[in-house]
Homo-oligomer: A and B are copies of this chain.
């Protein structure tokens, strides 16, 4: 697990580096599929003092297997996503400014351009509100469930992030670094969508064929972006 701890530590440290978190408002995890174990940030530890060995190892039911600290209070949300989607290698939660503003606005982040389409195939959905019961008991688990409910049968790697209503963004990817990469993209497209909408409230969503082209040239079977 040492290698995965290092990866999760590095990915967590990237959150302040990319301006996605204030204080301890974020957490990244990654899964070891073979062993069914998840490495996640400890709860409420300041980034500047954190070390790779502070990462906590839990099983998919949330039992602590390794580590001296309590895992992130959002652990149950991460685990719900890993149990449902076997394609996921890493999950991240932040309160990044612009994506959180869309969550507070209660709206999906609309697909308005190629920056968005290079990573997200269609709008970044906003979940429904949790009910009072869902919040009172097993709140973090229910947060995971409402994300799964909202994604439905979508390929989660084609929609590698979501905003939870009145809360904030969750993103994911093939591994911890990829999850953080997608969280950075989400924050940036959330910011652009706000500004674009403010410039022209009557703007139109990206043309479907343009979205398709951009997503596929990076992620499709005949991708030709990169090396």
Contacts and interface: CB of A to CB of B under 8 A. Distances in A.
A2 interface: no
Interface in A178-220: 181, 184-185, 188, 191-200, 203-204, 206-207, 209-210, 213, 217
Contact of A227 (B70, B118, B198, B206): B70
Interface stretch (A32-40, A82-90, A103-111): A103-111
Contact of A192 (B42, B70, B104, B115): B104
Contacts of A136: 209, 213
A209 B131 CA distance: 9
Contacts of A118: 25
A117 to B, nearest CB: 9
A196 B227 contact: no
B188 A107 contact: no
B168 A114 contact: yes
A166 B114 contact: yes
Interface residues of A, number: 61
Nearest to A114: B167
Nearest to A201: B105
Contacts of A209: 132, 135-136
Total copies of this chain within the assembly:
4
Contact of A207 (B98, B129, B227): B129
Interface string A130-144: 101001100100000
14 contacts: A43-B226, A44-B225, A98-B195, A100-B196, A101-B195, A106-B200, A113-B166, A129-B210, A130-B210, A135-B207, A136-B213, A166-B207, A166-B210, A194-B199
Given A129-B207, A139-B213, 15 more contacts: A22-B184, A22-B188, A25-B118, A43-B227, A44-B226, A70-B226, A95-B115, A97-B192, A100-B196, A102-B199, A104-B193, A104-B203, A104-B206, A114-B168, A194-B198
In the A-B complex, the 10 residue pairs with the closest CB atoms: A44-B226, A105-B200, A104-B196, A101-B195, A105-B199, A104-B112, A101-B196, A104-B113, A132-B209, A114-B167
